Structure 1
Amino acid sequence: MEKLIFTPLLIKKSYIYSIVLLALLLNSCTLFQTKTHDTTGDAAVQLTINSLHAKQVQEKGLLDSDTGDELALLYTINAYNKEGQLTSVNNGLWGIRQTKQNALILADQFDKIDIPAYRDGRLLIAVSLIEIDDFKGERKMDKVRDYTKSVRFPKLLRVSAFDEDKNLPPLELIDRSFKIAGYKYFKTKQMDVSTNDDLGGTKQAFDAAELNNIINGSKTIKETYEIDGANVNEPYLYIVKYGIQLKKSAK
């Protein structure tokens, strides 16, 4: 029997071919998973910011001149399938706006965002208020807007899970959602949000039963959340009202 002799060159070429083949297989799997996303779902669920009320601004200025806070409101809605895997995200942004004492910003100033939801699935929303004392802040926010008001689908079906994501702080979840949408390092690099810039936020999780109530039209969620605290002994209080409701039947 003729012996096969594997030279180092042949082994090297075989190794390279194996790597290339594996890369092509992984890439085809990624494309396959992306194409198989259900972009309609069983219903479209909408997140609406109804109002933001500045009951007490943090920065009143010299001699109580009421200069106001430079605010941005960030919000996201994440949908999961019945296995608890993340299927899509949608992000919203309002600001940067100088907001004075007792200012009331109504719903028409905020973009509504919707997402395809699934029966027996899950839903996770987060709202966060930040203050950006930066002359470049508005320019930075303009870049962020390109990644809002549009449903984005993860490249892989198993990017994260509902049971893990629901434990993230609101701003961390929003930062992650922007990353999935294509805008990396929103919090740490692009906006450089410090501890003092994060005024606070809220997060709400909907399990399968609660989501089915929304999809069946028997439940509309309206929430009021107070964002309060103090930075450098300067107290603040903001009240944000938002709603979760069925937008339309997608199937």
Structure 2
Amino acid sequence: MTLRPVMVNIKALDASAVGRFWAEALGWSAYSAGVTTYVGPAGGLVWPDPVALGIDVVPVPDPKTATKNRVHLDLATTTAAHQADLIARLEALGATPAQVGQGDVPWTVLADPEGNEFCVLEPREVYRDTGPIAAVVVDCVDPRAMARFWDEALDWTLHEVTDDQAVFRSAKGVGPYLEFLRTPGVKTVPDRVHLDLLPRPGGDEQAEVTRLRTLGATDLDLGQGDVPWTCLTDPEGHEFCVLALS
């Protein structure tokens, strides 16, 4: 297995504005070398980053629907004061409170300026060393089935699998987690947020795509045309892309 997540892809009407929001939110920098806006750790563009998952904001012509994304980011905090300060700063940047049926919970659900939901978590020891993004969270029907597919798809380590969740992290134990959480309902519309995967050096994009198809991935036509990446869905319909090594 030679695939690893390298970016969280977010679709937006105004990619530049949403990119600036996420750069300010995470304390990172926004880079706009082309039509997309890439957000990564400050200090100069390094891609792929050896630890962090960057955010690539891609312009699209249609706004987000009212349907909740089934993929979202959880942001880490270190203290209760940090959580409160971060929420206040995010709202000043244009985030708005969001209701997704969360009830009375110790974390806060917000939406970015174009309605993409994310959570600001209360301090949790497990996320003390992840950086600003604690986890990429994917709603799913069957975490065990997701664990079987993604454990074969990625070179990340499967830390936990139960009826309620499956948890992955880089084999080096750095950066954010990837979590599949059992959630009521099924996927009904395309997500505005998905993962981009990249072969490790020496890997081959097309060989990896073929392997993923044998595992249960399905080809996805988004009207992308002739591009140097491949769009797929996992067995529950979550979109993701396999990028080509440059």
Report the TM range for the smaller structure's normalisation: under 0.3
Q: Work out which of the two has the higher radius of gyration on C-alpha atoms and give 1 or 2.
A: 1
TM-score computed with the length of structure 1 as normaliser? 0.22
Structure richer in strand, relative to its length: 1
Q: Which has the higher contact order (CA 8 A, sep 6+)?
A: 1
The answer to which structure has the higher helix fraction is: 1
Give TM-score scaled by structure 2 length: 0.22
